[in-house]
Structure 1
Amino acid sequence: MRPEQRLPHTAAVDRPRIHLPDGKRLAVWPVVNVENWRIENPMPRQVLVAPTGAALQPDIANWAWHEYGMRVGFWRFLEAFERRGIRPTLSINGSVVPDYPRLAAAARDAGWEFMGHGWHQVPTHRIEDQPGMIRQTVETLAAFTGEPVVGWLGPGLTETLETADHLAAAGIGYIADWVVDDLPARLKTSSGPVLTMPYSVELNDIPTIMIQHHPAREFLDRTMAQADRLIAEAASAGPLGGAKVMGFAIHPYIMGVPHRMAVIEALLDALMARPEVVFMQGRAIRDWYLASGDPT
């Protein structure tokens, strides 16, 4: 199916007003992305362009840039979230479990939700056997955590026109690639509806820091500006009133470095200071939304 067939257009002003528990206005969904960059593949992203502009493999420099995040940056994230009692969602390549077991176990033991993110960090379009890759990822993560995998984010938010059907057939309940609204919505698949989830392509350190080249402070300012606006709309009596969801995404090799880490800590503290905010994992947002009565 084409996207507009899976997800019929619905104007935000036509959606019913729904409410979060305890008078909260905004569900904040923090997503930490951990990925397995295989040295035999082209690197998913580069911080250093190749000398003379010629693509080189193996790309040791950019592999090592990412590896710093797995060795060091992740542990800064873990400490920051644990100290504040926040349990984020972990967007994780399935192969992180066998290749980085210390990291995967720490996230599991801290109560983070595991969201499927492909097997390796390879665009979905390059996978010949999508159902097999999805099944391998979901089964590996479920066996490791002891819980079913409810959510999925494609590597680089990549999908083909058939991917949603494969994900639904594997038991996935929400997909974060469809960044179309400030609330979840129902996505048609051959195995029945699944939910879209308000992930973010702008409250995301890859575009903000690595593509747009903003100072780290921009991530804090942009995310809080969005939170303030959504909280105000949620509290209003107008057609955009009612609870909202805001996701933001961070990567250990970008925001987990020493010169940016204080920005993430400041962001978490600023959001915690807002009484209208509740931090939620993706599976909890899905359960809340399905119980809300919104048929969208």
Structure 2
Amino acid sequence: MVMTPRERIAYSAIVDRPALDLPDGVRMPVWVIVNVENWDIRRPMPRAVLPPPMGNPLVPDVPNWAWHEYGMRVGFWRLMEALKRRAITPTLATNGSVCEVYPRVVQAAHDEGWEFMGHGWLQGPMHALEDQAASIARTIEAIRAITGKAPRGWESPGLTETADTVDLLSKAGIEYVADWVLDDQPCMIETISGPIVSVPYTVEINDVSIMAVAQHSSDEFLKRGIRQFDRLYAESQRSARVMSISVHPYLSGVPHRIGYFEELLDHVASKPGVVFWTGEQILDWFTSSTQTNGS
């Protein structure tokens, strides 16, 4: 029988928990995620910068497909250069099919030592899949073929999950998920195969939410990111907090936005005790911490 979310994870007030400690010298981990996707021109586009004429969806949708394609051809490389100059190793959330369609992108990320996180096979909701387990397995194997190892983390396209997605992920060997954006600290989610860790992801410091959905001005990403970081950094003096920064090449990789991304990284990096960790580094710290504390 499929569990409800409340059965999977009990309510917990952060003020009631014991302090979550970090290694000596670390004040706060920051997790940077670069999302790369494959948008199938034969289907409606996952997002649109131009609404269809007369409000009728069109297939093929060339302008919106090309908007995303610019990110893979140009924007991705701006993001990579910005991160490389700052010696930041991010997590690459990738559709499995990106490994076939954009091998240049995933090979470059692998060569730079980025962590790979599963992001579905093709960009589209998990609810639309006929066989989730097969799609998950196919994605894991495509990443394994590039990196030599299976991904430990998973972010569903659009953070979509059905009632049993997390069970299927755990059964497939996934150790952490980014879909459950419900806390500033990692936490355990129960599955039929044992617990899986929720690593704090974000819909707030995410260029899709800010730019593509809410359609804020480009500097909102920086302003919101600074405010988010400053408050979490202050709170982390008492107990660990995790901040994530999620970007997409077709949004943050464009010329008028890349500078705001870089300014946010520089602001974060300027504070003592901040470390840029990948999802699996956060996972390993949290699981080690909970085992040490016996919880």
TM range (shorter): over 0.9
Deviation at 1:276, TM superposition (A): 2.7
Distance in 2, matches of 1:36 and 1:133, equals 14
Q: What is the letter of the counterpart of residue 277 of structure 1?
A: V
For residue 242 of structure 2, what is the aligned residue in structure 1?
A: 245
For residues 162 and 208 of structure 1, the distance between their equivalents in structure 2, rounded to whole angstroms, comes to 29
Question: Residue by residue, what CA displacement relative to the aligned partner does 1:104-124 show, whole Å, maximum 9, x if unpaired?
Answer: 100000011000000000110
**1:7 corresponds to which letter in structure 2?**
I
How far apart, in 2, do the equivalents of 1:271 and 1:147 lie?
Answer: 31
Which residue is 1:157 aligned to? 159
Contact 1:25–1:242 (CA<8 Å) still a contact in 2? no
Q: Is the 8 A contact 1:26 1:227 kept in 2?
A: no
Q: Distance in 1 between matches of 2:209 and 2:128?
A: 22
Where do 5+ consecutive residues of structure 1 fail to align?
236-240
What residue number does 1:280 align with?
277
Aligned counterpart in structure 2 of residue 219 of structure 1, from 221, 239, 255: 221
- Whether the aligned pair in 2 keeps the contact of 1:183 and 1:197 (CA below 8 Å) is yes
Q: Distance in 1 between matches of 2:231 and 2:116?
A: 29
Distance in 2 of aligned mates of 1:26 and 1:57: 45
Q: CA deviation at 1:22?
A: 3.0
Matching residue of 1:238:
none
Displacement after TM superposition at 1:243 (Å): 1.1
Distance 2:213 2:80 in 1: 25
Report the secondary structure of 1:213's partner residue.
coil
- Whole-Å Cα distance in 2 between the matches of residues 59 and 79 of structure 1? 30
Is 1:135 matched with 2:137? yes
Contact 1:231–1:276 under 8 Å retained in 2: no
| Runs of 4+, deviation exceeding 4 Å | none
**Local SS of the residue matching 2:116:** strand
* Secondary structure in structure 2 of the residue aligned to 1:254: helix
TM-score of the superposition, structure 2-length normalised? 0.97
Look up the SS of the partner of 1:21 in the other structure: coil
User: Alpha-carbon deviation of 1:247?
Assistant: 0.7
What is residue 178 of structure 1 aligned with on the other side?
Answer: 180
How far did residue 143 of structure 1 move? 2.1
SS in 2 for 1:285: helix
**Superposition pairs of residues 45-124 of structure 1, within 5 angstroms:** 45-124=47-126
TM-superposed deviation, 1:192? 0.4
Secondary structure, aligned partner of 1:56 = coil
Map residues 234-273 of structure 1 onto 2, 5 A cutoff: 234-235=236-237, 241-273=238-270
Between the two proteins, the alignment pairs up a number of residues equal to 291
Matches of 2:223 and 2:82 in 1, distance apart?
19
> How much has 1:295 moved relative to structure 2?
6.5
The whole-number CA distance in structure 1 between the counterparts of 2:127 and 2:209 is 21
